[in-house]
């Protein structure tokens, strides 16, 4: 889609369709031209309620507030209605005067996410429609927005939404088409971006560097594993942020086999790895002055005569021994070795992203990311920018009593808890065992098992992958970059 910020009143812009958000059911606002028709159509103006008056060429969407995520959702609803028509252009006013940059970001992201489709596997594909959206500088309270800031917001939103949709495309690909080799090839393509380099390591490297937990998970797969390390290193970067992503291109559960219903959608187990790549891609396109690493453990977890087994003892990269009690707790094994590897590069901030536990979705809901770590200030900082981006997060606190549940009688640590309760936190505590003391306060664990993949539409998120954690981290990194300049 094409976008223009136009320094004109809404009425003076010539477009096929006008989009109007009705705030708090205020049908008297001057932008609402068809109060009588809307009432006849029983349109109440509730949040997310949308209607297209074809004869009048108006799209109306109800919003309950001027919060940024309301604007995102409303613009997504509007574009979905516009896509059903043959019209080519639309116009919309701004709704927040004092925060024109943020308002534009929210509107554009909503349009882009509402327009997103993944149709690779459809035998009959609909033609991709191209729209031109004009955003008037006139705001809901009749004031003029700050045009320069609005244009900066437009550029930022196009990059963040493109990065998010890049992650979605990766996650939505079927496991037969997207193996660790393909993930490594996608990572290598990022070298086309300025200041980006990529190194791919194979199973020989993993074996030589004692990454035995990672190797064990891969053992029964016909597709070899790949350790992916992408670096964005701009000049004069003063902070190094490392993202470690879980890249399970498919997870059958291994010998602790998942029930068949639970295997459906397990292509989404690569969401953490996809997010790490997307964050680095977005940061490079934004030209942020923060050094960023994306480290992904890419593999499958399959079954076979040579599969790793419950009761196996694995030796991780840092020499710690792990008792395997459930082969479906495999992501933490891959991450354990990848986190050890990541710390060799001395991060100022270390963040792992993983669809790690169904327990997290049970605990905080399927739309929310669980955030764990020891540094409360880091968690608060990320949460602030998550809220700004529209992503939902919830902190989950560690405690010493839960840590006792992953003790092993025959090894240093067990890969699952001895209790069914607190599974998201005990998984985080397992990872903590592989974080060196000097990095404890620099580390955050993001469990995106709930929001990473949807079986039903939610807000501006369509069926399938959502690109969970990409936007929140790009918003956060953007702030860090401005502080570094």
DSSP labels, 297-315: EEEEE--STT---TT-EEE
**Quick one: pLDDT band at residue 99, thresholds 50, 70, 90?**
confident
**Quick one: pLDDT band at residue 255, thresholds 50, 70, 90?**
very high
| pLDDT recorded at residue 484 | 67
- CA 347 to chain CA centroid, Å, is 21
pLDDT, tens digit, for every residue of 354-389?
999 999 999 999 999 999 999 999 999 999 999 999
pLDDT, tens digit, for every residue of 294-329?
999 999 999 999 999 999 999 999 999 999 999 999
Percent pLDDT > 90 in the chain is 93
Q: By the 8 A CB rule, do 18 and 54 touch? A: no
Cα separations in angstroms, 401 against 273, 376, 446:
31, 19, 21
- The whole model's pTM is what? 0.97
User: Pairing between strand 196-201 and 58-63?
Assistant: unpaired
The H-assigned helical ranges of 390-422 are 400-403
Could you tell me where the beta strands, DSSP code E, fall in 106-204?
A: 132-139, 196-201
Q: By the 8 A CB rule, do 238 and 474 touch? A: no
Q: Dmax over Cα atoms in the chain, in whole Å?
A: 76
**Does the pLDDT at position 485 exceed 80?**
no
| pLDDT recorded at residue 146 | 77
On average, the pLDDT of the chain sits at: 96
**Quick one: pLDDT band at residue 347, thresholds 50, 70, 90?**
very high
* Domains annotated on the chain, with CATH: 2-140 (3.40.220.10), 162-484 (3.40.630.10)
| pLDDT recorded at residue 402 | 97
Residue 258 designated active-site? yes
pLDDT, tens digit, for every residue of 435-456?
999 999 999 999 999 999 999 9
Q: From the candidates 258, 320, 403, 479, give the one annotated as an active-site residue.
A: 258
pLDDT, tens digit, for every residue of 46-82?
999 999 999 999 999 999 999 999 999 999 999 999 9
Residue 403 designated active-site? no
């Amino acid at each position: 889609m094409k976008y223009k910020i136009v320094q004109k009143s809404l009425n003076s812009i010539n477009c096929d369709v006008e989009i109007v958000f009705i705030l708090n059911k205020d049908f008297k606002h001057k932008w609402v031209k068809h109060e009588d028709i809307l009432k006849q159509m029983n349109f109440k103006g509730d949040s997310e309620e949308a209607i297209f008056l074809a004869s009048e060429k108006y799209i109306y969407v109800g919003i309950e507030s001027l919060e940024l995520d309301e604007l995102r959702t409303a613009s997504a609803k509007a574009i979905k209605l516009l896509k059903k028509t043959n019209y080519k252009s639309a116009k919309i006013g701004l709704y927040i005067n004092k925060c024109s940059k943020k308002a534009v970001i929210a509107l554009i992201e909503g349009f882009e996410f509402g327009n997103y489709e993944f149709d690779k596997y459809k035998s009959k594909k609909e033609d991709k429609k191209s729209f031109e959206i004009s955003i008037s500088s006139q705001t809901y309270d009749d004031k003029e927005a700050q045009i320069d800031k609005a244009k900066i917001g437009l550029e930022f939103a196009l990059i963040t939404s493109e990065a998010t949709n890049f992650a979605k495309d990766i996650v939505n690909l079927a496991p037969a088409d997207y193996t660790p080799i393909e993930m490594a090839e996608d990572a290598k393509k990022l070298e086309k971006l300025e200041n980006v380099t990529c190194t791919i390591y194979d199973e020989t490297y993993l074996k030589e560097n004692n990454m035995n937990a990672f190797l064990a998970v891969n053992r029964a797969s016909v597709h070899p594993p790949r350790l992916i390390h992408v670096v964005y290193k701009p000049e004069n970067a003063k902070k190094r942020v490392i993202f470690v992503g879980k890249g399970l291109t498919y997870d059958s559960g291994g010998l602790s086999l998942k029930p068949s219903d639970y295997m459906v959608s397990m292509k989404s187990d690569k969401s953490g790895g996809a997010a790490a790549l997307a964050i680095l891609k977005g940061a490079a396109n934004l030209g942020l002055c923060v050094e960023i690493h994306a480290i992904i453990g890419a593999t499958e977890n399959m079954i076979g005569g040579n599969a790793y087994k419950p009761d196996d003892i694995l030796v991780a990269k840092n020499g710690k021994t792990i008792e395997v009690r459930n082969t479906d707790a495999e992501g933490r094994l891959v991450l354990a070795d990848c986190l050890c590897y990541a710390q060799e590069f001395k991060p100022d901030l270390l963040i792992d992203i993983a669809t790690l536990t169904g327990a997290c979705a049970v605990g905080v809901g399927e739309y929310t990311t669980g955030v764990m770590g020891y540094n409360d200030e880091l968690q608060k900082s990320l949460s602030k920018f998550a809220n700004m981006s529209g992503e939902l997060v919830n902190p989950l606190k560690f405690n010493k009593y839960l840590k006792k549940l992953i003790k092993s009688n025959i090894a240093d640590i067990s890969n699952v808890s001895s209790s069914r309760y607190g599974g998201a936190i005990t998984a985080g505590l397992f990872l903590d065992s592989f974080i060196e003391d000097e990095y404890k306060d620099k580390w955050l664990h993001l469990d995106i098992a709930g929001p990473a993949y949807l079986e039903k539409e939610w807000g501006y998120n369509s069926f399938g992958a959502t690109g969970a954690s990409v936007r929140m981290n790009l918003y956060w990194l953007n702030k860090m970059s401005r502080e570094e300049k």
